[in-house]
Chain A
């Protein structure tokens, strides 16, 4: 038997979770896997999660941690692979993960979106998490810090560095891209 309350939760929040996962991972397939893993973890503790004030915030926290932990694990695998060479099946898997994968989709068809996606990819996972939580979910610095399990100062610093990096990446590309829209164009106050 399916738990109707959990089904309702999934139905109500899957879109939001997928959006978050997509912006955090910059890849549709990876986002789907991340959300699936996130929902599996929520399901395991559903009785306790259900009793929380904001189950969706708990799910979002799991998702963000999955992304950050996943990047760390990937880095570790890369280091191990460099040390040992690709001789085992696990190393083969790690080898695949080392390849920069960019899915081609409708998103890439619009240059401005592709540019932003590309810029987001170049941020560190924590910087990207702060950017997405602050500017997509409109969380305050304190809420973002609570969700990430770090201090407000770290959120401020990561956010500022992330924004600066985004500007550095996007501005030169915009200069080379004729006729682009004004998304993320810095310094043009009315």
Chain B
């Protein structure tokens, strides 16, 4: 009797597996899995960086014109490597502002320095949250910013080899609020709720940061602003990241891949981008300029489940933290 049942089960399982839609197989084959190796820039790259640094002052001047210039003095459009001690200080300052759930632990996936400012991205694999920390390294009266979201890892579709994932955008600095780090220490979950509307508006316009996943062949990402101003992103360990002072948003984004191909892409959130990607449905994974849009299957599944469980709150479902 048991043999009959077992044989029936074999047939039924094979039938069930055969009836599975196979769209996912092609998607999985096209993805980028192999880890990146860190590369030190050679002399030619270092020379190029020096040239770009020379133009950095002009870039900063344009971007800083709309905000408090003294707060971001020394900021550079071209990132450099951060020193270990500067990173340790930045981590400590950001942790002082973060609620416990957002503590920066382990090793950052991306680090950079722009003048005296150090930025880091930490990823908590168990929760799927990424945490961005930017700090000028001064305790008390610090230009320290923390941001977090889970869109890049948990919601957005993973980028292809030559693509960028849609960014987790953030804005705001604690700059201009003396003692912000100490004042809000230990307050949670959202210390920013303690601020007045005017303070929040001032913070939101003080600086912008963009972080997202980058395909393995992506070598450089450049943000183009008005008047020929450019800001270079850091591309490390499958992430891209840049921040700049002021409320300005880039006009275009240039992505250069390892085979030298350069794509000039519209910027997500702008009309130009929305015209390129008119049908951004939940399940689409269309290419939009250099970006892959759409969402991870698991995110779609969670959303559908959430909508079924909370029909009266469907419109207010938070997309990211």
Interface residue ranges, A against B (CB under 8 Å):
1-3, 6-7, 10-11, 14-15, 18-19, 22-23, 27-33, 35-36, 39-40, 42-44, 46, 73, 87-90, 92-93, 95-97, 99-101, 103, 105-107, 110, 112-113, 116-117, 131-132, 135-136, 138, 163, 166-167, 182-189
Contact = CB atoms under 8 A, between A and B. Distances in A.
A166 B12 CA distance: 12
A31 B24 contact: yes
Contacts of A87: 189
B25 interface: yes
A28 B28 CA distance: 13
Contacts of A31: 20, 24
Contacts of B216: 2
B305 A11 contact: no
Main secondary structure of the interface of B (DSSP, over half): helix
Contact of B305 (A96, A166, A183): A96
B9 A131 contact: yes
Contacts of A92: 318
B81 interface: no
20 contacts: A2-B34, A10-B33, A15-B22, A22-B16, A32-B28, A32-B298, A33-B297, A33-B298, A36-B31, A93-B150, A96-B305, A107-B16, A116-B16, A131-B9, A138-B10, A163-B5, A184-B8, A186-B4, A186-B5, A187-B1
Nearest to A27: B301
Contacts of A3: 34
Contacts of A184: 5, 8-9, 12
Contacts of A15: 22, 25
Contacts of B161: 2
A183 B13 CA distance: 10
A163 B6 contact: yes
Given A28-B21, A29-B300, A135 B9 contact: yes
Given A6-B33, A30-B298, A88 B101 contact: yes
B189 A113 contact: no
A15 B251 CA distance: 42
B31 to A, nearest CB: 6
A18 B12 contact: no
Q: Which of B6, B9, B15, B158 has the most CB of A within 10 A?
A: B9
A82 B32 CA distance: 38
B28 A39 contact: yes
Interface string B287-320: 0000000001110111011101100000000100
Nearest to A90: B127
Given A18-B25, A33-B297, A99-B306, A188 B33 contact: no
B13 A136 contact: yes
A35 B154 CA distance: 15
A23 B17 contact: yes
B300 A40 contact: no
Contact of B19 (A14, A106, A135): A106
A99 B309 contact: yes
B39 to A, nearest CB: 13
Nearest to A16: B17
A22 B300 CA distance: 17
Closest 5 CB pairs of A and B: A29-B297, A43-B33, A99-B305, A19-B17, A89-B321
A39 B34 CA distance: 9
Contacts of A189: 1, 4
Contacts of B129: 89-90
B11 interface: yes
Contact of B1 (A30, A97, A186): A186
A22 B297 contact: no
A18 B20 contact: yes
A22 B304 CA distance: 19
B12 A112 contact: yes
Contact of B20 (A22, A42, A131): A22
Contact of A88 (B20, B154, B189): B189
Contacts of A93: 127-128, 150, 154, 302
Interface in B52-95: none
B102 to A, nearest CB: 9
A23 B9 CA distance: 12
Contacts of B298: 29-30, 32-33
B35 interface: yes
A43 B12 contact: no
B27 interface: yes
A116 B12 contact: yes
B48 interface: no
A30 B9 CA distance: 23
Contact of A96 (B2, B297, B306): B306
